[in-house]
Amino acid sequence: MALVVSVIGAGRIGRHVIDHVTDAPWLRPGRVLTRTEGPGAFWTTPADIIIDAAGPSALRAHGAACLARADLWTVSAAALVDDGFRQDLLDVARNAGTRLRLFAPWVAGIAEMPAGHATRLDLRISRPGSGAEFTGPLRAAARAFPDELNFAVAAALCGPGIEATRVEMTDAAPHRLEATLHAPEGSFRSEMTFSGQGTHPTALALMGALDRVQPGLGYGA
What average pLDDT does the segment 185-206 reach? 92
30: helix, strand or coil: strand
Among residues 61, 67, 3, 5, the alpha carbon closest in space to that of 31 is found at 5
Q: Are 181 and 159 in contact (CB under 8 A)?
A: yes
Confidence of residue 115 (pLDDT cuts 50, 70, 90): confident
What's the predicted TM-score (pTM) here? 0.93
99 vs 71: CA distance, rounded Å: 5
How much of the chain, in percent, has pLDDT values that exceed 70?
A: 97
| Torsion sign over Cα 137, 138, 143, 148 | positive
**How high is the pLDDT of residue 214?**
87
**How high is the pLDDT of residue 217?**
58
Which residue blocks in 77-146 are alpha helix, DSSP H?
A: 83-96, 138-144
Per-residue pLDDT tens over the stretch 38-90: 788 999 999 999 999 999 999 999 999 999 999 999 999 999 999 999 999 99
How much of the chain, in percent, has pLDDT values that exceed 90?
A: 85
Domains of the chain: 3-104+201-211 (3.40.50.720), 110-193 (3.30.360.10)
**How high is the pLDDT of residue 218?**
64
217 vs 62: CA distance, rounded Å: 33
With a cut of 70, say whether residue 212 has pLDDT above it. yes
Q: Are 175 and 196 in contact (CB under 8 A)?
A: yes
Helix-then-strand count for the chain, H and E: 7, 10
Please give the helix or strand (H or E) that residue 42 lies within, else none: helix 40-44
With a cut of 70, say whether residue 221 has pLDDT above it. no
What average pLDDT does the segment 149-177 reach? 96
**How high is the pLDDT of residue 146?**
94
Q: Are 148 and 203 in contact (CB under 8 A)?
A: no
Mutual orientation of helices 201-211 and 14-23 as an angle, nearest 10°?
20
Q: Are 96 and 68 in contact (CB under 8 A)?
A: yes
Annotated catalytic residue within 16, 20, 182, 200: 182
**How high is the pLDDT of residue 35?**
87
Q: Can 182 be counted among the known catalytic residues?
A: yes
